[in-house]
Every structure is written in C-alpha cells, then in structure tokens.
Amino acid sequence: NAGLGSFTGTSIVENELCGVMCDTQGCATLIDCNIERNKQSALAVADDGGAVATKCNMSDNSEVSVFIGAGSNPTLKQCTISNSRGVGVLVRDAGKGVFEDCTIDRSTLSGIVISHRGDPKFQQCCVSNGDDAGVLITDNGLGSFIGCDIFGNTMPNVSVRGDSNPSFLTCRINKGQDSGLLVYNRGRGMFEKCSFTGNFKANVAVETQGCPFVQDCLIQGGKDAGIIVYDSGGGTFQKC
C-alpha cells in the first residue's frame, strides 16, 4: 500500500541518510519545510514514489539535494536548493518531475544532472553560481526547460552530451565563466527563442559530433566567439 504523509513548517536536519525518502508509491506533501545538512539527500524519490514540495528550503546537503529515479514524478514549487555539496538535482532512470519557480544555487558539482532517459520539466527556474556545469544532460538524458535563467556557473552553463536530446524554450543562458552552451559527444537538443549572452568563452560551442538545433535565438556579447563549431561538430542555426 502507498504510504502518505503531510508536513508543514517542519525542520528535517542532520540525518545519516536522506531527509525525506519516498519510494514504492509513497508520497509526501511538504510545505515551508527546512531540509538541511543531511548526509545524502534532502529529498529522494524513487520506485514510483511521489512528493509535492512547496516553498521548502533544501540547503547544505552532502551528496544530491534532490534525487529522482525509477519512474517517479514529484512536483517542487518555489523551493530553494542551495549549497549542495554534490549535485543540486539528479534525475535518472526514466524519472520525471516538475520544478516551478525554483532556485538551484551554489552547487559544488552540477546544479542539475539528467541522465538515462530522465525527463523532468523546469519552468521559470534559476540555476546559478555552481562550481561545475549549471545543467549537465548526459547518457540519453532528456528534459525540458521553459523560461529559465542559467548563469554564473564555473563550467558551461549548459552541457549536452552522450546522445542526449533536451529542449530549451525562452531560456536566458548568460554570463557563465565558461561557454554558455556546449554540445558534444553526439549530444543534440532543441534551443528556441533563447538568449546566449556575455559568456566568458564561446556563447555556443559544438564539437565531436554534437548536433543541436538552434532557432530564433539571441547570441551576443560573448567574451570569445559567438558560435564555434569544430572537431566534427555540426548543428542547425536558423533565424539567429
């Protein structure tokens, strides 16, 4: 039977494993909770588990602040995921999930990692100031990003590789300390009505059989090339 639970204004801190784990059709509702300093994840959802988290603070967790796997589909709204000691959000193994108006900031590794047919949706989210890539999509990852701000990350703001094929619509991918977008190693992806501006290296870089589709995008004001395609890279650029 599915386990259910509801928590409002609860502090869930300093656990040896996860702050909150939902699996095997278990589902938690979390409102205004502080989920901090746990040694694995703030929230882990797997094996068809579910969760609805609203206005929660998930900070200073050690491995992956939010883990989604194995067909699970949680919803997070207006949550702050910050100071992750590893990855901010990891979605894999056909996991899904909806993130609305969330902030993912200052991760030690990538802010978001999507792999192995993971297919989450991010709307009006901010992914910023990480020590690695802002968004890394790898190993047949998917995912859709709508109206997101991705900026200030140490490695490429968005990196797509390994036969992955995400979509980005009306996103602002700006002011990274490396490339704005890097597509390589057979990565693909659709980028429509996005802006790539002010990145320290190329605003858009494509290499090693990368092949993105870029349409109606603004590519401007990079500190290096606007677009660089090299080492067997490809791609389609329309109305940019």
The pLDDT of 49-69, averaged and rounded, is: 96
Q: What is the mean pLDDT of the chain?
A: 96
Whether the pLDDT of residue 27 is over 70: the answer is: yes
For 146, the token pair is: 């709508």
Residue 33 has pLDDT above 70, yes or no: yes
Q: What is the pLDDT of residue 2?
A: 54
Taking residues 131-137, report their average pLDDT.
98
pLDDT at 3 over 90: no
Convert the pLDDT of each residue in 200-218 to its tens digit: 999 999 999 999 999 999 9
pLDDT reading at 59 higher than 80: yes
Q: Does position 128 have pLDDT exceeding 50, yes or no? A: yes
Mean pLDDT along residues 46-57: 95
Contact 105, 80 (CB under 8 A): yes
15 has pLDDT over 80: yes
What are the tens digits of pLDDT across the range 218-232?
999 989 999 999 999
**pLDDT tens for each residue of 68-118:** 998 899 999 999 999 999 999 999 999 999 999 999 999 999 999 999 999
pLDDT band at 1 (very low <50, low <70, confident <90, very high): very low
Report whether pLDDT(167) > 90.
Answer: yes
Helix (H), strand (E), coil (C) string for the chain: CCCEEEEECCEEECCCCCCEEEECCCEEEEECCEEECCCCCCEEEECCCEEEEECCEEECCCCEEEEECCCCCCEEECCEEECCCCEEEEECCCCCCEEECCEEECCCCCCEEEECCCCCEEECCEEECCCCCCEEEECCCCCEEECCEEECCCCCCEEECCCCCCEEECCEEECCCCCCEEECCCCCCEEECCEEECCCCCCEEECCCCCCEEECCEEECCCCCCEEECCCCCCEEECC
Assess whether pLDDT exceeds 60 at residue 53.
yes
Task: Tell me the percentage of the chain whose pLDDT exceeds 70.
Answer: 98
Distances in whole angstroms, Cα of residue 101 to Cα of each of 27, 126, 185: 21, 8, 31
Q: What pLDDT does residue 26 have?
A: 87
Rounded Cα distance between 190 and 132, Å, is 22
Q: What is the mean pLDDT of residues 7-20?
A: 96
**Count of beta carbons in the 10 Å neighbourhood of residue 239:** 9
